[in-house]
Amino acid sequence: MAQFGIFYGSTTGNTTKAAEAIQAILGADRAELVDVATAGVEDFNRYSNLILGASTWGYGDLQDDWEKKLPLLKEVDLKGKTVALFGLGDQEGYAACYLDAMGIIHDVLVECGVTTVGAWPTEGYTFDDSVACKDGQFVGLALDEDNEADKTPQRIAVWLQQLEGQWQE
Ligand SMILES: Cc1cc2nc3c(=O)[nH]c(=O)nc-3n(C[C@H](O)[C@H](O)[C@H](O)COP(=O)(O)O)c2cc1C
């Protein structure tokens, strides 16, 4: 059985691409991709490790599919699961709400009693504000395909390396 469910919500394909890159490193034998648009509670329950990825739309809003599916997280049996987040946004065009969707998902997880893993430093990013920034760190991996697509592969690789040893068997 796959240990990792990589749940992604993507409008123009950037988050899908990042999810695929994460899967490629973890290995398709143990990591499955789930488009959150099609996900039900049973899908979230299936994996011992959840990696949740979302882009931000509007002005600090959840990506549309996450908007519909986020309430499901409250019905998922999250006890004993390890949960990590990644987000995509545009730090130049939306500096006041960069990656807010990742922060919104994080807030719901906190309400559910989950402590996420995979916090990521804000150094090297230029933005004014973000719901995804708590205690001076991003709550998960911060990606920006609009301005720094060249940095994405390296950021993903380092993030996953940093997470080794923190996952459920
Ligand atoms: C109309 C529009 C609104 C956006 N709003 C935000 C925003 O509020 N915050 C942010 O960080 N990025 C914002 N973005 C940038 C997207 O999140 C970014 O392009 C992302 O890579 C899209 O990923 P996706 O193709 O997986 O949906 C916006 C982009 C567009 C076109």
Confirm or reject: Cβ of 87 under 6 Å from ligand 1: no
Residue 17 CA: nearest ligand 1 atom is 26
Give the pLDDT of the chain (169 residues) as one tens digit per residue.
579 999 999 999 999 999 999 999 999 999 999 999 999 999 999 999 999 999 999 999 999 999 999 999 999 999 999 999 999 999 999 999 999 999 999 999 999 999 999 999 999 999 999 999 999 999 999 999 999 999 999 999 999 999 999 999 8
Confirm or reject: Cβ of 90 under 6 Å from ligand 1: yes
Phi and psi based region of residue 123 (left: phi greater than 0; alpha: psi -120 to 50; beta: remaining): beta
Q: Where are the domains of the chain?
A: 4-163
Q: 9-21: string of b/e by CB count within 10 Å (b at 16+)?
A: bbeeebbbbbbeb
The pTM of this model reads: 0.98
Residue 97 CA: nearest ligand 1 atom is 9
Assess if CATH 3.40.50.360 describes domain 4-163. yes
